[in-house]
Amino acid sequence: MKLEGVELRRIAMPLVAPFRTSFGTELNREVVLVRVVSPDAEGWGECVAMSAPRYSSEYVDAAADVLRRFLVPALLALPDPDVYGAERAFARFKGHPMAKAALESAVLDVSLRESGTSFGTFLGAVHDTVPAGVSVGIMDSVPELLTAVDRYLDEGYLRIKLKIEPGWDVAPVRAVRERYGAELLLQVDANTAYTLADARHLAKLDPFDLLLIEQPLPEHDLAGHASLAQLVRTPICLDESITSAAVAVHAINIGATRIVNIKPGRVGGYLEARRIHDVCAAHGIPVWCGGMLETGIGRAANVALAALPNFTLPGDTSASDRYYTRDITDPFVLEDGHVRVPTGAGLGVEPDPDALDAVTVSTEWLAA
Ligand code: SMG
Ligand code: MG
């Protein structure tokens, strides 16, 4: 494949409601979109870094910088770029998995559009639709939380994830479990807000039969998660900690994680995400697809990934209207609690030019 160049586009999209986690509140989603152009097609990728380095060390301005100065030039220097060559070229630079994933996805998209293959087919999808969960932010009060959960369940979401932090954990979990009963698929996500000294407190979540507790301890503390797993009955699921297939295997082997959240951005792209899916399957560890408040571009790829066979738990792959009044692609909608896997070439969706214009902050073109 020959490339003509790469466009980096900054967009900003207001969320329909503030989304509060243990590390901060998101109101306005700033995103770097990547467009890779060949003579015959163009491919899109979405960088999932947030505005500030709070979920992980990456953030939007740093991602734009590393793309502009290192990753895009490395891609454009390849004599015959494809997704595998791009992955190898990016591996020479340390870190920045979200920036790498965005550009790698755009390369994959353009090549799949050229060959008429969908993301789902390329990755190995085995389902036409995927079950949708929803991640519910920290609220000011339990009644406010129940109002939000009521609405999501009315809309058809099949699983509820509550964001937790010290001071907002047992009480909201109890209230939701009591209101909706034992059948509700319910899990929690701490985004690293606890320490091992909180083990006895976290064990108070055990009676509520949660599917999992996601990332209770800091990112680098795999050993701590293994110790915590001996002290709580609720399965531990790692998110932030799982940065590669190698780390996933290590975490599984030491007993730090019984379920894995896969986010392609966190692990450097869809190739590595698929490897994590595969090694988890080989170890009997179920996986599910995380979310980073994606637009329809990132969502299309995530939904395709979530259709692989070992994605056996509903993901944070919610419908577009859970995030945005107007998505930049045709919106993803809930159908009986499921989201449909696109079948067209590449991502199977593209930005609507007017919707994109309305949210664009700046663009830059890097020519081959
Ligand atoms: O995309 O629905 C979504 C968000 C899901 O909770 C979600 N993501 O740690 O899993 C996580 C968080 C990270 C982003 S919080 C701003
Ligand atoms: Mg998480």
pLDDT digits (tens, 9 = 90+) for 103-124: 999 999 999 999 999 999 999 9
**For residues 157 and 133, is the Cβ–Cβ distance under 8 A?**
yes
Residues 45-68: what's their mean pLDDT?
98
| pLDDT for the residue numbered 108 | 98
- Looking at residue 31, its pLDDT comes to 98
The average confidence (pLDDT) of the chain is 98
Tell me the mean pLDDT in the region 346-362.
98
Distance, in Å, from the CA atom of 30 to the CA atom of 273, rounded to the nearest integer, reads 23
> What pLDDT does residue 151 have?
98
Residues whose CB falls within 8 Å of the CB of residue 83, separated by 6 or more in sequence, listed in order = 104, 107, 108, 111, 271
What are the tokens at 222? 């795999």
Instruction: Report how far residue 177's alpha carbon sits from residue 175's, in angstroms, rounded to the nearest whole number.
Output: 6
Q: 134 C-alpha to center of ligand 1: Å? A: 9
Q: What is the atom index within ligand 1 of the atom nearest the CA of 318?
A: 2
pLDDT at 38: 98
pLDDT band of residue 179 (cuts 50, 70, 90) is very high
- Ligand 1 closest atom vs CA 163: 6
Report d(CA 265, CA 324) in Å as an integer: 20
Q: Is the pTM of this model over 0.85?
A: yes
pLDDT of the residue at 49? 98
Q: 191-241 pLDDT, tens per residue?
A: 999 999 999 999 999 999 999 999 999 999 999 999 999 999 999 999 999
CA of residue 237 to ligand 2 center, whole Å: 9
Q: What is the pLDDT of residue 101?
A: 99
Q: Write out the two tokens for 332.
A: 């993803």
Q: Which residues line ligand 1 (CB under 6 A)?
A: 19, 21, 26, 50, 55, 135, 189, 191, 239, 290-293, 316, 318
pLDDT per position as a tens digit, 228-287: 999 999 999 999 999 999 999 999 999 999 999 999 999 999 999 999 999 999 999 999
Closest atom of ligand 1 to 134 CA is: 2
pLDDT at res. 273: 99
Over residues 42-60, mean pLDDT: 98
Ligand 2: distance of its center to the CA of 296 in Å?
A: 20
